[in-house]
Every structure is written in C-alpha cells, then in structure tokens.
Amino acid sequence: MKLAEAETSMQKTVEATQRAFNTIRTGRANPSLLDRVMVEYYGSPTPLKSLANISTPDASTITIQPFDRSSLNLIEKAISLSDVGLTPNNDGSTIRLNIPPLTSDRRKEFVKLSAKYAEEGRVGIRNIRRDALDSTRKQEKNSEISEDEARDQQETLQKLTNKYTAKIDELLAEKEKEITTV
C-alpha cells in the first residue's frame, strides 16, 4: 500500500465518520437524519431518499413527499420501526416529522453515540496505518526499499495517522457542541 493510497483511504474514513455524525439528531430538523431509513418497497429494502422528496420547511419539522403515493404507508411504517425516534404524522399525501427539543438524557445518549462513531473512525484509520506499515515492512524485507526509506515512510504514515485522527477529534468536538447547545 502506497502512502497516497493510505491517505486517500484515511480521507474516506473521515468522510464516512462525518456522514455517521450527520445521522445523529441535534434538536434541529435535518434531512440527513433519515439517511439510514430503509423502506421495504416491492419486496426489497430501498433508501427513503430514493422514494420521496425530503425537506425541512422550518427548524423543527421534516416533510416527506413520496414520489409514489401508494408507498406512503410503507414509508410511515419504516420510519416508525427505525431508530430515528420520531413519530410520523400522515395526512394522506405527506408525512410530517416534528422534531421535539432534546432532553438532557437524550443529549447524553447522542454524545455517547457520537463518541462511538468517532472511535470507529479512529480504529479505521489505525487499520489503514497497520496495512500500510505491513506493506512497507514487506518491501524492506524483499529489499525493494532501503531501511532509511522504510523508516521515512513509517514516519510519514504516522504523521498522516495523527492528522486524520485529529480531524475526527475536531468533528467529534463540533458534533458534541452541536448536541449540547440548547
């Protein structure tokens, strides 16, 4: 594994962690809260965002306008069964989700969930580092690169690891602040 490949993989891990953070509720309406909701549509699980137009008319409401009205009840059922924790209100053509203010207990749960996602991201980055280090050691063992080059690559790899781990820590701090702000 080359350093450029490792850096690209680390960047993708940070982006995946950011997407995971976006699915955590913060007290404000955000369409990305519904990114993980899958609807059983014609026998196959389908992402909600491919079945409906999702919008936020105000800070505490999400509206879902299905492209196919016959899927309205399926969407409502999928949201009810999901881990979003919101109750859908069906008016016959649209589904509304009212985002209640977060309680302090719920905020603590979301902070813990954020920390869990951040740790998963850090573990992903460390795994990429481990794979790249193994690759560097193999190259050194097979005399493809010198000992000095191997050491330089390992130092550069550690700097990349520190850089991307710090990015995840920044994202976590930002998300925790967002969650705890009333």
Which tens digit of pLDDT belongs to each residue from 24-51? 877 777 787 788 888 888 888 888 888 8
Question: Where does the pLDDT of residue 1 fall: very low under 50, low under 70, confident under 90, or very high at 90 and above?
Answer: low
Which tens digit of pLDDT belongs to each residue from 108-120? 888 998 999 999 9
- Is a pLDDT exceeding 90 seen at residue 123? yes
- Is a pLDDT exceeding 80 seen at residue 85? no
Domain 31-98 sits in CATH at 3.30.1360.40
**This model's pTM is above 0.85:** no
Q: Cα separation of 2 and 131, whole Å?
A: 10
| H/E element, 63 | strand 61-66
Boundaries of every domain in the chain: 3-22+103-180, 31-98
What's at 104, amino acid-wise?
A: S
Fold of domain 3-22+103-180: Topoisomerase I; Chain A, domain 4 (1.10.132)
Q: Cα separation of 93 and 91, whole Å?
A: 6
Quick check: 107 and 180 in contact, CB under 8 A?
A: yes
- In the block, residue with structure tokens 């995840």: 168
Quick check: 126 and 168 in contact, CB under 8 A?
A: no
